[in-house]
Amino acid sequence: MNGWKGRILAALCVLSCLALPAFGGTGSAEGLGQAAQLSTALRAVVPPGQSDRQLWGILTGEGNLQVRVGAGLVLADRLYPQGDLARWSEVQGWWLPEQIPLSLAAADAALVTAVLAAQLPDPSGSWLAFRLLDSFFASPDAWVFLGRCPPVAISDLEDSLSSRGIRSGRGWPPFGAAMGTLPLARPLFGELSLDQAMAQDLSFLDGMGRPTGGAGFYAWDRLTGRVYQIREKLRD
pLDDT in tens, the chain (236 residues): 445 554 544 444 444 444 433 333 345 888 889 999 999 999 999 999 999 999 999 999 999 999 999 999 999 999 999 999 999 999 999 999 999 999 999 999 999 999 999 999 998 999 999 999 999 999 999 999 999 899 999 999 988 998 888 876 554 556 678 899 999 999 999 999 999 999 999 999 999 999 999 889 999 999 999 999 999 766 55
Q: Which domain holds residue 225?
A: 188-235
> Do residues 85 and 171 lie in contact, with contact meaning Cβ atoms separated by under 8 Å?
no
Does residue 125 lie within any of the structural domains?
A: yes
Does residue 168 lie within any of the structural domains?
A: no
DSSP tag of 61 = S
For residues 156 and 194, state if they share a domain: no
How many structural domains is the chain composed of?
A: 2
Final residue of a domain: which of 121, 148, 163?
Answer: 163
How far is Cα 204 from Cα 170, in angstroms, rounded to an integer? 27
Look up the pTM and report it: 0.87
- Nearest to 109, CA basis, from 155, 134, 77: 77
Q: Both ends of the chain: CA-CA distance in Å?
A: 59
Does residue 19 sit in helix, strand or coil? coil
For residues 127 and 10, state if they share a domain: yes
CA angle (225, 171, 22) in 5-degree steps: 90
